Structure 1
Amino acid sequence: MRAVFRIPAFRLLFAGLAASMVGDALLMLVYAIWVKSLTGSNGAAGLVTLFIAVPYVLAPLGGWLVDRFRHRPFLVVANLASALMLLPLFAVRDAADVWIIYTVAALYGVSSVTIAAALSGLLKELLADDLLADANGTLQTVREGLRLGGPLAGAALFAALGGAAVAAIDAVTFLVAAVAIARMRLHEEPPAPSGLHWLSELTAGLSHIRTEAALRRMTIATAIGFLVIGINESVLFAVVGQGLHRPAAFVGVLASAQGVGAIAGGLWAGRLARGVGELAAIAIGMAAIGVADALIAFPWLPVILLGKVTGGLGLTIMITGFTTVIQRHTPGPLIGRVSTAAETLISGPQTISIAAGAALVSVADYRLLLAVVTIGMLTAAAYLWLARRLTAPLPLGPAPIGSRSQPGRDTREEARMAFIHHTTMTPTKLELLAEWLPAQSWYVGGAGSPELLKAGGFRLDDPEGEVGIELMVVVDAGAREPVAYLVPMGYRGAALEGVPGAALIGTSEHGVLGKRWIYDGVHDPVVTARLRALLRGEAVPQRQSVSDTPDPTVVVHGISPVDGSDVRINRVLRAEEAAEGAPGRLVAGWTWPDGAAARGVFATVAQR
C-alpha cells in the first residue's frame, strides 16, 4: 500500500477525496434528520433515501456522460457542481421547504453516480494495474473509517449549528477536492468519437460486461450475493432485540464492529487481490460475509461481534475486488458506462432483498433469514471461485514507481514492447470475427451468425514494434454446444501485400492509432515468425490486456527447433489436459460461457 503513496498525483487525489468523504459522512444522516425535525414524519424522513437512490436507475446515462470527457477535468467540474448544488439548502426554513432537501438529495445521488464512475477511470489512467487494488482498498478504508463516527458527528453539528452549517462544511470539502484534483499532473487523451448509434453508445457498457468473461462472471456472482445480502438491513434489529435482548440503539455497537472489520479489510484487500487474483479475492470476501451471518445467528455477544467484524472485512474485500476488476478489464473510453452498468445490475437485486427482508423479518425467525443469506453468499462465492483463473495473480513486489522495466530485460527490446491502449475499436474485433469466421473452411457452426464471446488468449511482441500480435480465443455461445476457436491476428497500420484476400479479417478504426488492418495471423509473416520464436523459447507470451506483463499460464512443452518445421494452429480448440506433456506443443487456457476453465493445445510443431 505504501507504493501507491509514492506517486505525487495519487497523494493529491487521495487528499482531495478524503476531504470530500469527510463532508459526505457528516451529511449522510442530516438530510433525513432535517426532514424529520421539520415535518415530524418518519415516512417523510425515509423518503430521503429514495430520492438519493432514484438517480441510480439512470446510472447508465451518467456513465455515458462520464465517457465523453477526460476524467480529471470532469471530476474537477463535478466537485465544483456538487458544492453549488448544496447552496439551496440555505433557503430551507420550515416544512414547506422540504422539497428543497429532496431535490438536493436527488442531485447528491447524481453526483455520487458520476463521480464514482469518473474516479474509476482516473485511477485506471493514473496507476499501473498492480497498484489499482491497493488504491481502491486505501480509499475504501478511509470511507469505512469515516462511517464509524461521521454520521454521529454530523447529527451533533446539526443539533448545535443547524443543517445549513453542515451543508456549508460539505460544500467546502467538495471545493478542496476540486482544487486537489486540478493540481494533479496527468496527461489524458481526449475521448475520440466512436461513430456508433446513440443507443449502441448508451448500452456499450452492458455489451462489454456480456462479452468479457471475467466481468460477466463477477457481475452474475455479485448479483446472486446482493439478492440476499440486503436482508441484513432489517434482520440486524431482530438480532439486537430478539437475540441479545438489547434496545434498538445497540445496533450502533454492532455497526461499529462491522466498521472495524471494514477498515481491516481495506488495508488487506490490495495484497490479497494481487496474491490470489481479484475474482478469488471477491469470492473470499463473499464467503466471509456468509460465515459472518452464520456467526450472527448465535445469540451470544462475543460471537455476534466476531461475525460483524468478519462481515465488514468480507464486504470491503468484495467491493475493492469488484472495482479493480472493472478497471483492469475495461478499456478507458468505456469505464464510465461499464461501471454504471455493473452498479445497475447489482443494485436491482439488492433493492429486492432489502424489501424482502423488511417484509419477512416480522413473520419469519431471523435465524432462518440469516441462514438464507449464508447459503446465498456461499453459493455466489463458489460460483465465482470456479472461475478464479480469469484474473491471474499479479506479482508481489512490483517494479519501481514510474518504471515498468523488469530485471534482466534488454532495455533496447523494452523500448519496442507493445503498449496496450485502453480505447475503442470500431467495428470491434468480435464484430469483425462474427462476419469472417463463417466463411472459413474450419468453421463448424451453422448457417446463422455466431454469437461470439471473448474467452481467452495472449499476445506476442514484435521486436520492431510495427505489428500488434494477438492469439485470441472466441467462443460461439449460440451453437448447440459452445465451440472455442483460436484466431491468431496481426494488427497493422497499412495493408499487407502478397497475401490472399481471405487473409484480411477486416479494418477497424482504433481510438488512438487510427485505421488498423487486421489479418489472420497464419498469413502474416511477422505473426508466424514470433510463434516460431515462442516455440524455440526466444519469445515471452504476454498478458492479453496488460502492457508488458508476461502470461505464466501459456506453456511450451518441449522447446523445439522449428527450422524446417511447420507451426500448425489448432483452429477449433478442445480441452486436452493429457496432451500437455507431449513435446513441441503450445498449451494455454480459455473460459467457457458458464465460467468453467479449460486448457488445450493451441499450436504444434510438425515436420514439413
Structure 2
Amino acid sequence: MATFQLSRLSSFRALSHRDFAYLWVGMLVSNIGTWMESVALGVYVTEVTGKAGWTGGVAALTHLPSLVLAPLGGALADRFDRRSFMAVCICVQVLIAALLTVLAATGNLTVPWVAALSLLNGAFSTLAIPCATALTVAVVPQEDLHNALSLDSAQFNLGRIIGPVIAALVLTKLGIAGALFINTLSFLAVLLALARMHGAVRTTPPKVEALWAGIVRGVKLAWTDPGIALALGTAGFVGLLISPFVGLVPVFALKVLGGDATTTSMLLTAQGTGAVLAAFGTGAIVARVGRRALLEGSMVLVGLCSAIFWLSPTLPVALGALFVLGAVYLVAFTGLKTVCQARTPPELQARVSSLFLLLVNMGYVLGVWGQGMLSDRLGVRPITAGAALLFFGIVVVTRALRPRGLATLEDVKAG
C-alpha cells in the first residue's frame, strides 16, 4: 500500500496512507457543502413554519431511509466494487442538490420540496456511508484503524465548523440558492478522490451469495458477538437521547436564545471545534488511558454535557457547553464504531457499518422528531435536557449493575 512521507505523529498517522488521504480530503470538501445546506435548510424551515416539530421532522427525514436501506447498502457495498458503488450514489446526490439549487434560485422552493428531497438525499446517503467506512477500513492497517476513524470524525466536524461559517456569509450575501449551489459543487471532490484511489480496496474476494443471505449473515454476526451487540445498542441510545441536538440547534438558537442564522452558525462551529480538537488529541489520550477506559468515560460525560448545553441561560454558556459536548460526543461515537469494525471480518465490515448506521439513525429519527414535537408543547429545555439526563441515568445504572459486561467493548479483531 502506497504511503505519503508524512510525520508518524499518533494523531495523524493514518493520513500517511495515500488512498485514505485522498478519501479524507474529498469527504471534507463534501461535508463542508453538506453543512452549508443543513444550516440553510434548517433556518429556512424554522423561519417559514416557526415550529420546532417541522424543523426536527425535516432533519429526521434525511435519516429516515436508513431504517430500511442501511442493511441493503452494507450488503451491496460488500458485494460490488466499493469505489464504483459509492460513485454512483454520489452522482445521484449531485442531481438532488442541483434540483434544490434551481428551486431556490427560481423562488419555487417550499417546505414540502425540502422534505421530499431531504428524504431522497437521505436514501442515497444511507447507501454510500457504509461503503465509505468499509473503504477506510480497507485502506489502513489494523494498528491505524482507531486513528483513521477518529480522523474521519475530525473531517466531518471540520465540515461542521467551516460549513456553517461560510453558510452564514453566503446566506447574507447570496441567499439560500448560493449556499445550495456551493453544496452541489462540493460533491465533485468525492468523485475526484475515488478516481485517484488505486490501492487495494478489498482484502478478500466477495462471497457469492444471495443478497438477503448476505444481510442475514451480517445481522447474525452482530447479534452473536457480545462486543458488537453492546456497541450497537449503546449507539442506538445515543442516537435517541443525545444526537437530536444536531438537528435542533436552529430551534435552540432562534426560539430559545432569540438569535438568527449567525447564532446557529456559531453554535454549530463551537460543537465542531470541540470535536475536531478531540479527534486530533484522541491518539495521545488512548495511549495514556486505553481505548476502553476512554470510551466508558465518554459514555458517562456525554449525557451530562448535553444537559448542560440545553439548560444554558446565555449564548456564551451555550457555546462553551456545546464545545465540550462536541468533544465528548466524538470520542463516544468513534470508540463505539472502532469496537464494531475491529471485531468484524473484512468481508462483513460494510454490513456491520450499515447496522451501526441503522441503529444510530433509527434513534435519531425518533429522537429529533419526538423531541421537536414535544418541545412545541412542553418547552425546548425540559424535553431536551430531560432526555440527556435520562441517558446519563441509564449509563450510571448499567455501570453499577453490570460492570463486567463492559469488558466486551474491547476492540479485539474477530477471527
Superposed CA deviations along residues 427-463 of structure 1, whole A, max 9, x for unmatched, are xxxxxxxxxxxxxxxxxxxxxxxxxxxxxxxxxxxxx
Structure 1 residue matching 2:136: 3-state secondary structure: helix
Aligned to 1:389: 407
Matched residues in 2 for 1:299 and 1:94: separation? 37
1:130 aligns to 2:140 (yes or no): no
> 1:103, 1:359 → 2: CA distance?
19
- The answer to whether 1:223 aligns with 2:236 is yes
2:21 to 11, 32, 38: 11
What is the match of residue 113 of structure 1? 126
CA contact (8 A) 1:278 1:391 kept: no
Q: Are residues 133 and 358 of structure 1, via their aligned partners in 2, closer, same or farther at CA, if it must alter by over 3 Å? A: same
- The answer (yes or no) to whether the contact 2:168–2:265 under 8 Å persists in 1 is no
Quote the offset at 1:156 in angstroms.
Answer: 3.8
Task: Tell me, yes or no, if structure 1 residue 210 matches structure 2 residue 223.
Answer: yes
Partner in structure 2 of residue 320 of structure 1: 334
Considering fraction of residues, name the structure with more helix. Answer: 2
Say yes or no: does 1:57 pair with 2:48: no
Distance in 1 (alpha carbons) for counterparts of 2:380 and 2:54: 28
Distance in 1 separating the partners of 2:252 and 2:92:
41
Partner of 1:2: 12
For the Cα contact (< 8 Å) 2:227–2:408, is it kept in 1? yes
Matched, 1:311 2:329: no
Residues 22, 272 of structure 1: CA spacing in aligned structure 2 closer, same or farther, 3 A cutoff?
Answer: same
Distance 1:175 1:378, change over 3 A: same
Write the deviation string for residues 234-262 of structure 1: whole angstroms up to 9, x where unpaired: 997998899xx953445655544333322
1:283 is matched with 296
DSSP 3-state at the match of 2:378: coil
SS at match of 2:65: helix
TM-score, length-scaled by structure 2:
0.78
Give per-residue Cα distances to partners, 1:281-320, cap 9 Å, x unaligned: 3322221212324545475877655433321111010121
3-state DSSP of counterpart to 1:67: helix
Distance apart, 1:145 and its partner CA = 2.8
For 1:69, give the aligned amino acid.
F
How big is each residue's C-alpha offset from its partner over 1:480-528, in whole Å with a ceiling of 9 and x where there is no partner?
A: xxxxxxxxxxxxxxxxxxxxxxxxxxxxxxxxxxxxxxxxxxxxxxxxx
Distance 1:68 1:318 in 2: 30
Specify the code of the residue in structure 2 equivalent to 1:8. R
SS at structure 2 position matched to 1:185:
coil
Superposed displacement of residue 349, structure 1: 3.2
Q: Do residues 379 (structure 1) and 390 (structure 2) align?
A: no
Give the structure 1 partner of residue 170 of structure 2.
157
- Measured at CA, do residues 193 and 215 of structure 1 come closer, stay the same or move farther in structure 2, by a change above 3 Å? same
Using a 3 Å threshold, how does the CA distance of structure 1 residues 7 and 337 change in structure 2: closer, same or farther?
A: closer
Secondary structure of the residue that 1:203 maps to in structure 2?
A: helix
Q: Structure 1 pair 51/376, CA: closer, same or farther in 2 (3 Å)? A: closer
Residue pair 1:77, 1:178 contacting (<8 A) in 2 also: no
Larger Rg: 1
Distance 1:193 1:25 in 2: 37
Q: Normalising by structure 1, what TM-score?
A: 0.56
Query: What residue identity is the alignment partner of 1:329?
Result: R
- Alignment equivalent of 2:348, drawn from 334, 345, 352: 334
**What are the ranges of 5 or more consecutive residues in structure 1 without an aligned counterpart?**
394-542, 547-608
Q: Conserved in 2, the CA contact under 8 Å of 1:67 and 1:191?
A: no
Matches within 5 A, 1:156-175: 156-158=169-171, 160-161=173-174, 163-175=176-188
C-alpha spacing 1:320/1:382, structure 2 compared with 1 (3 Å): farther
Q: Distance in 1 between matches of 2:174 and 2:251?
A: 34
Deviations 1:372-430 (A, max 9, x none): 5234235336647644433447xxxxxxxxxxxxxxxxxxxxxxxxxxxxxxxxxxxxx
Aligned mates of 2:380, 2:241 — CA distance in 1: 16
Q: Distance in 1 between matches of 2:396 and 2:320?
A: 20
The one-letter code of the counterpart of 2:346 is G
Q: Contact 2:337–2:356 (CA<8 Å) still a contact in 1?
A: no
- Preserved CA contact (<8 Å) 2:298 2:329: yes
Following TM superposition, by how much is the alpha carbon of 1:146 offset from its aligned partner in structure 2, in angstroms?
A: 2.6
Task: Please tell me whether the aligned partners of residues 136 and 320 of structure 1 are also in contact (alpha carbons under 8 angstroms).
Answer: yes
Conservation of the 8 A alpha-carbon contact between 1:20 and 1:170:
yes
Aligned to 1:370: 385
Change (3 A) 1:239 1:277: same
Count of matched residue positions in the alignment of Structure 1 and Structure 2:
392
Q: What are the residue-to-residue correspondences of 1:404-443 with 2, within 5 Å? A: none
Tell me, in whole angstroms, the C-alpha distance in 1 between the residues paired with 2:235 and 2:383: 22
RMSD, aligned CA: 3.8
Contact 1:228/1:376 (8 A) holds in 2: yes
Aligned-residue sequence identity (percent) comes to 20
Deviation at 1:52, TM superposition (A): 1.9
- 8 Å Cα contact 1:229-1:377 kept in structure 2: no
Structure 2: any 5+ residue segments left out of the alignment? 1-10
Tell me if 1:29 matches 2:39: yes
- Paired with 1:28 and 1:298, the residues of 2 have a C-alpha distance of 23
Deviation at 1:231, TM superposition (A): 6.6
Residues 283 and 222 of structure 1: CA distance in aligned 2, closer, same or farther (over 3 Å): farther
> 1:277: how far off?
5.0
Structure 1 counterpart SS, 2:199: coil
The SS at the match of 1:28 is: helix
Whether the 8 Å CA contact 1:125–1:332 is kept in 2: the answer is: yes
